[in-house]
Structure 1
Amino acid sequence: MNSFKTTMGIFGAPFAVPGADTFNLDGYKNVFTRGNFAANYLNSIIVTVATIVATIVLATAAAWALVEYKVRISPLLTGFFILGIMLPIRLGTVPIIKMMVATHLIDTLLALVLVYTAMQLPLAIALMMTYFRSVPGELKEAARMDGASEFQVLGIALPLVRPGLAAVASITMLPVWNDLWFPLILAPSKANQTVTLGVQQFVGQFQSDYPALLAALTLGALPLIVLFTVFSRQFIQGLSAGYGK
């Protein structure tokens, strides 16, 4: 509400609804004319969508292999991914920077996608494994006996684990969109800034312009609020069902 007020309206009655005397859109005008929000939003959308797709594809393939194929190293690989859940990826910031510099990926959106995918894979794999274990074995064996390939069997199982896919997409989207650390060190240039980094720099640049500051913060949070409102049922159902199993 305060992002739609004048500065006097914000400090005079911060909990009041904008009225005829306090309603003002200058904050949003300043954000789009003096900031770089259109490019920031596009960058965040590209990074988030690419990370979600890569995480779902890789986590699905890895979880399917770990559940279906009983080889000696399966417990070791499963423990490796569980270890990845416990250790924060930020502990490896310096090696990550060196790796990106060596591969000439520093200050690119691809660097963010690769890091975020690696960051989200351990939890996504663990979650998908619980769902694949719930798929009836008789269904998979019947498909194999009918001559279906492994990819076709996986295609048969995927509709049964759609809540898991929705949960993976949700838990991937939230931290990727909100992250400030890796955009700040891996893609700091103006052309590659994400929404979170753009808001942070906007806050530092226009601290005295409170309507613009609140408008920037509102725009940064709005996509997550809308998406969580629309997909909250799938998000909660997918997580609760997956961890319950």
Structure 2
Amino acid sequence: MTAAPTTRRPDSLPPVVSEPRPRRGRRDRGWAAAMTTTALWLYAAVAVVPLVIMLLNSLRTNRDLATQPLGLPLQPDFTSYQRAWIEASFSTYFLNSIVVTVSSVVIATAVSLLAAYALARAKGRLMSVIEAVFVSGLMMPVFLMIVPIFYLLDSFGLVSTRTGLVMVYAAVSVPFSVFVLTTFFRQLPGELEEAARLDGAGPFRMFWSVMAPLVRPAIATVVVFRFVPIWNDFFYPLILIRDQQKYTLPVGLTSFFGEYQTDWSTLFAGLVIATVPLIFLFLVATRQIIAGLTAGMGK
């Protein structure tokens, strides 16, 4: 340890030991961390407040909502959930959203995983051009693609079908998924593939058993970032679906809005039903990302 600096007094008295000055950098970092934590908690509180209001209002009647919009459900009423699920055909909309969203995410993730692995490991000008084509899909506005998409699906007889909607969502999700997964694959060392090849693993075995498990955090990220916008999308189902029995949740929610009166209690109940899968997905995906990162650090 370095001795503290001493100061010699002129009158032959014992030297006075000066105290070391505290480092300002460490204190500044502590204040910055505290302010960042406070800002994040405030943001979380602001984000949670609308969800709490939505849940509380779903347990109240329309009369209570009209007289006291921000009141508390002193006598919770669950009939709004029954009306939303049965009378408003919300069970059908919920099933349509589950089928369309899960199918789209699974297809897009599977295709993007194979394409990203090939782009990350192959070298050449052709692969660079293919990667640029994939990335260019991120710059295409949704509203500019709807007319050619509609005519393309109409030529195959897929308008107003869940299959056509799944194909559109899967195709739109591929560019972002390929971009994220390619970045993760390029960070993996090539020695892993060489070791697997020496052990007798073929290309598919090498990809499925060695490389794919190492990018689980990227897969979870892709699933979350594509599941949420597809689940909440209103534009494509409104244009491509004409049969009410094939509506997804965002389009089905419009049935609660009338010309002269709106069933607010049932609407809030429908919003809660539509939000629960997203909350569950975020909880599961967060655990998967942390588990994948921890497993990679342990290895």
Calculate the TM-score normalised by the size of structure 2. Answer: 0.73
Distance 1:39 1:212 in 2: 16
Distance 2:282 2:67 in 1: 32
Does structure 2 conserve the Cα–Cα contact (< 8 Å) formed by 1:199 and 1:220? no
CA spacing shift, 1:99–1:206, aligned 2, 3 Å: farther
Q: 1:118 aligns with which of 148, 168, 171?
A: 171
Q: Is 1:169 aligned to 2:219, yes or no?
A: no
Distance 1:39 1:92 in 2: 28
Q: Is 1:194 aligned to 2:248, yes or no?
A: yes
Q: Which residue of 2 aligns with 1:39?
A: 92
CA spacing shift, 1:220–1:73, aligned 2, 3 Å: same
Does structure 2 conserve the Cα–Cα contact (< 8 Å) formed by 1:2 and 1:211? yes
Distance 2:120 2:82 in 1: 53
Deviation of 1:236 after TM superposition, in Å, equals 8.9
Q: Is 1:15 aligned to 2:86, yes or no?
A: no
- Structure with more helix by fraction: 1
Distance 1:28 1:206 in 2: 22
Q: How does 1:60-139 map to 2 (within 5 A)?
A: 60-139=113-192
Distance 1:60 1:163 in 2: 13
Unaligned runs of 5+ in 1: 239-245
Does structure 2 conserve the Cα–Cα contact (< 8 Å) formed by 1:170 and 1:235? no
1:15-38, CA deviations, whole angstroms, 9 ceiling, x for partnerless residues?
Answer: 332113xx3233223223321111
Distance 2:260 2:112 in 1: 41
CA spacing shift, 1:206–1:184, aligned 2, 3 Å: farther
Does structure 1 conserve the Cα–Cα contact (< 8 Å) formed by 2:180 and 2:222? yes
Distance 1:207 1:236 in 2: 47
Unaligned runs of 5+ in 2: 1-55, 293-299
Structure of higher CA gyration radius: 2
Q: Which residue of 2 aligns with 1:57?
A: 110
RMSD of equivalent CA atoms: 2.1
Q: Which residue of 2 aligns with 1:185?
A: 239
Deviation of 1:206 after TM superposition, in Å, equals 8.5
Deviation of 1:107 after TM superposition, in Å, equals 0.7
Does structure 2 conserve the Cα–Cα contact (< 8 Å) formed by 1:166 and 1:235? yes
CA spacing shift, 1:148–1:231, aligned 2, 3 Å: closer
Q: Which residue of 2 aligns with 1:243?
A: none
CA spacing shift, 1:205–1:171, aligned 2, 3 Å: farther
CA spacing shift, 1:28–1:168, aligned 2, 3 Å: same
Does structure 2 conserve the Cα–Cα contact (< 8 Å) formed by 1:106 and 1:187? yes
**Structure showing greater relative contact order (alpha-carbon pairs closer than 8 Å, 6 or more residues apart):** 1
Q: Which residue of 2 aligns with 1:242?
A: none
Deviation of 1:11 after TM superposition, in Å, equals 3.2
Name the aligned partner's letter for residue 238 of structure 2. L
CA spacing shift, 1:37–1:205, aligned 2, 3 Å: farther
Distance 1:205 1:223 in 2: 30
Name the aligned partner's letter for residue 111 of structure 1. G
1:43-90, CA deviations, whole angstroms, 9 ceiling, x for partnerless residues?
Answer: 111111111110111000100111111132111111111111121233
